[in-house]
Amino acid sequence: MNIQTAINLDDLRRLARRRLPRIAFDFIDGGADDERCLRRNREAFERHCLLPRYLRDVSKRDQSVTLFGRSYASPIGISPTGLAGLFRPDADLMLAAAAREANVPFLLSSAANASLEDALPIAPDHVWFQMYCTSNEQINDDLVARARAAKPRVLVVSVDVPVNSNRERNRRNGFSRPFRMTPGVVLEALGHPGWVLRYLRTGGIPMMRNWKPYAPEGASAGEVADLYGTLTPAPMVNWDHIRRIRDAWPGALVVKGLMHPEDAGEAVRLGVDGLVVSNHGGRQLDAAPSPLDVLPQMRASVGEDLPIILDSGVRRGSDIVIARCLGATSAIFGRPTLFGVAAAGQAGAARALQLMRNEVDMVMAQIGCRNFSELDASYLWTPAPGQPQTTSSTYETAVRPRVRAVQG
């Protein structure tokens, strides 16, 4: 199998697993604690069905969405992921270029290896900037000032990392600062010579370029990563930070990681323009519900018009359609494009986006929907827990009389 013969996102994961040393693959793939949240994110989609409508002309289909005043080709996007350069040098720039080609948003993480100033010129209409607030207010203000200067279309503030979580795969592999590479980890990595060569050729751990300006002149990549580790996570961050950013940032402001309807309401009161409903892909609170499960309440809390982008566990076109039916405006995903870029660079990320776009299109046709934005709960069919696969009223009015007639 190669990137062009990969037929779904899981294939991209398999390709990346072959190419990456376990320490890097596990860093992408893993979740917190027992990884229940990771599994829950997938199970949530599996609980919903789509009820197809036929005999509608679906020869023309439109899956474009408008977000913050700009139209994108598909209701998908690339979630922000830090340290992507570890999986392939310049991965962030490749993700930006893939997003531009597919005409979908790419959320560049402040923990990425490319800086905002490097990535934005590659895809000025597609790169959004995601930041974490740090424990240093001057740096927080400076990050917003840099965004004001560079002008990404959207500023995203992630709020779901008050402290580091317990990612046990990383701990077992020694993936923490400072790196404690055991001989076993090094030996395993040597089984992936392409990755090792690229890693050595580019000088080892990639620089977190967004943070370089805050480190002493000439600081190494390791020293910059250590500085980042002292500034984040920042458990003191609170609503005042959002207020302050709102005052300083004139463009579209999105908060990523809220899961409680009251928090969503508070964000709207403070003038936030959109939400990414997310549990960080199951990487933070293992006991968190899936974003899909809280989505209807989040939608009810913010009203009909505020964009809600669903994130965490999205792997199929049908997931995106289901999310839309439950109140999302669009959806983003993080690991699949990382796996794609790790396996084959920009072409791999592009393949992930193309597969998802094709699946959304196919599902829309299957259920008789011409326009993605017209999807609503009427397309959903969700069996009540423990109930047979028909609703009791359907059974009583439509099925039982026929059974009786046949039985005489």
| Least Å from the CB of residue 80 to ligand FNR | 4
Residue 288 neighbours by CB under 8 Å, 6+ apart: 37, 259, 279, 282
Question: In whole angstroms, what separates CA 69 from the centre of its chain?
Answer: 21
**Contact string 169-208 vs ligand FNR (x = CB under 6 A):** ----------------------------------------
CB of 7 to ligand FNR, least distance (A): 19
Residue 48 catalytic? no
Residue 211: count other Cβ atoms within 10 Å of its Cβ. 23
Q: How far is the CB of 237 from ligand FNR (least distance, A)?
A: 13
Pairwise CA distance, residues 129 & 153, whole Å:
8
Residue 322 contacts by C-beta under 8 Å, 6 or more apart in sequence? 45, 48, 50, 292, 380
CB of 70 to ligand FNR, least distance (A): 21
312 binds ligand FNR (CB under 6 A): yes
Measure CA of the first residue to CA of the last residue in the chain; give whole Å.
57
Distance between CA atoms of residues 375 and 364, nearest Å: 9
Among 63, 74, 109, 346, binds ligand FNR (CB under 6 A): 109
Residue pair 29/361 in contact by the 8 Å Cβ criterion: no
Closer to ligand FNR at the Cβ: 3 or 44? 44
Query: How near is the Cβ of 106 to ligand FNR at its closest, in Å?
Result: 11
291 binds ligand FNR (CB under 6 A): no
- Write each residue from 112 to 151 as x if it is in contact with ligand FNR (CB under 6 A), else as -, in one continuous string: ------------------x---------------------
Q: Is 158 in the site for ligand FNR (CB under 6 A)?
A: yes
Quick one: which segment of 97-105, 196-204, 329-337, 348-356 binds ligand FNR (CB under 6 A)?
Answer: 329-337
Give the Å distances, CA to CA, from 298 to 79, 274, 278, 295.
19, 11, 11, 5
Residue 150's contacts (CB-CB under 8 Å, 6 or more residues apart) are 116, 117, 120, 129
Which of these ranges, 17-25, 52-60, 145-153, 278-286, lies near ligand FNR under the rule CB under 6 A? 278-286
Q: How far apart are CA 169 and CA 38, in angstroms?
A: 13
| CA triple 27-292-24, angle to 5 deg | 5
Q: Which of 21, 77, 82, 345 binds ligand FNR (CB under 6 A)?
A: 82
Which residue, 148, 52, 77, 39, is CA-closest to 308?
Answer: 77
Amino acid at 144: V
At its nearest, how many Å lie between ligand FNR and the CB of residue 248? Answer: 20
Under the binding rule (CB under 6 A), the answer on residue 335 touching ligand FNR is yes
Q: Does 209 bind ligand FNR (CB under 6 A)?
A: no
Stretch touching ligand FNR by CB under 6 A, among 77-85, 339-347, 369-377, 385-393? 77-85
For ligand FNR, give the closer residue by CB, 58 or 185: 185
Binding residue for ligand FNR, selected from 333, 339, 372, 379, defined by CB under 6 A: 333
**E-strand spans in 257-351?**
274-277, 308-311, 330-332
Residues ≥6 apart with Cβ < 8 Å to 393: none
Q: Which residues are catalytic?
A: 280
Site residues (vs ligand FNR, CB under 6 A): 27-28, 79-82, 109, 111, 130, 158, 256, 278, 280-281, 283, 311-314, 333-335, 338
